[in-house]
Amino acid sequence: MPRWKSAIVQDIQVVSPTTSLFRLALPDEPDFTFKAGQFITFDLPIGEKRLDRWRSYSIASAPSAKVLELCIVRVENGRASEYLFEEVEVGTTLTYKGPDGAFYMPQQLTVPSVFICTGTGVAPFISMLKDLDERKGFSQPIHLIFGTRTEAGILYRSYLEDLAQREPNFQYDICLSRAADSWTGHRGYVHEVYTSMYTGQASDIHFYLCGWSNMVDEAIKRLTEDMQVSERNIIQELYG
Ligand SMILES: Cc1cc2nc3c(=O)[nH]c(=O)nc-3n(C[C@H](O)[C@H](O)[C@H](O)COP(=O)(O)OP(=O)(O)OC[C@H]3O[C@@H](n4cnc5c(N)ncnc54)[C@H](O)[C@@H]3O)c2cc1C
């Protein structure tokens, strides 16, 4: 049986028209530890059966942070979304279990990594980057490829800009599927970005994928079939 614990919402920050950062204090676990990339699961008051009530969220903060940060998108007509965005406020107590999951990097990097994500799928990568940053762990190149619809949906933009300026082994590309005319970066979907950059030279790279099945399934197909990347070198977190 999972051990359920209480988290208290300390802060809710709107960061895009559909996305907010929920910051949680964990009074039951002052020494809560997790590996960057893992998630927690809430038992929310949104259904009768337990599986109807459970929703998982990647931790976006670094393992060293005292307050846990989650980056959550409001899904239209989603039951957890409606509860989290309509009912939850500063001071609300939420019931959680975790951390869980095997979506994390080795402690010491020995090969380059490419992170591919869409939307709030960037959350575990932010935790990993913050962790590496704190540990001075960028011993190998890391390339984040982040897809979203419009410029307003670019999450953690100033953090990514700042990190790329400071850390020579970190680069990132943003890809907008509904870009305004003024956008000068990549347009379309993330797939075009990594296929154009890594086809023919992907054998020693670890590809980390995070997001919903439409993106993750397509990425696995392209990596394994078109780019001959070994399944061993693909690590994935599927949101649904
Ligand atoms: C390990 C794990 C980690 C996760 N981490 C995060 C996270 O950090 N941030 C986050 O926002 N969510 C995350 N999720 C997704 C989250 O658990 C919920 O599924 C999400 O909040 C939707 O729940 P809901 O009850 O609002 O919608 P539901 O009522 O459960 O679902 C509504 C429908 O919309 C679909 N759907 C939901 N979201 C999307 C989307 N963005 N694109 C396309 N289809 C979608 C669902 O598959 C479903 O068919 C994670 C999921 C898993 C399994």
Q: Where residue 28 sits, what CATH number does that domain have?
A: 2.40.30.10
CA of 111 to the centre of ligand 1 (A): 31
Q: How many domains does the chain have?
A: 2
Band the pLDDT of 2: cuts 50, 70, 90.
Answer: confident
* Residue 181, both tokens: 């005319």
Residue 219 lies in a domain: yes
Q: Are residues 124 and 215 in the same domain?
A: yes
Q: Is 212 in the pocket of ligand 1 (CB under 6 A)?
A: yes
pLDDT tens string 47-91? 999 889 999 999 999 999 999 999 999 999 999 999 999 999 999
CA of 84 to the centre of ligand 1 (A): 12
* Residue 50: domain span: 5-100
Q: Are residues 229 and 124 in the same domain?
A: yes
CA of 20 to the centre of ligand 1 (A): 14
pLDDT reported for residue 203? 87
Output phi, psi for 206, to 5 deg.
-95, 125
Residue 107 lies in a domain: no
Q: Is 81 in the pocket of ligand 1 (CB under 6 A)?
A: yes
Q: For residue 180, what is the domain's CATH number?
A: 3.40.50.80
Write the residue with the smallest CA distance to atom 53 of ligand 1: 239
Residue 143 lies in a domain: yes
pLDDT reported for residue 50? 85
| 96-100 average pLDDT score | 97
Q: Are residues 217 and 127 in the same domain?
A: yes
Q: Are residues 28 and 89 in the same domain?
A: yes
> Which residues have CB under 8 Å from 66's CB, separation 6+?
none
Q: Are residues 120 and 162 in the same domain?
A: yes
CA-based Rg of the chain, rounded to a whole angstrom? Answer: 18
CA of 57 to the centre of ligand 1 (A): 9
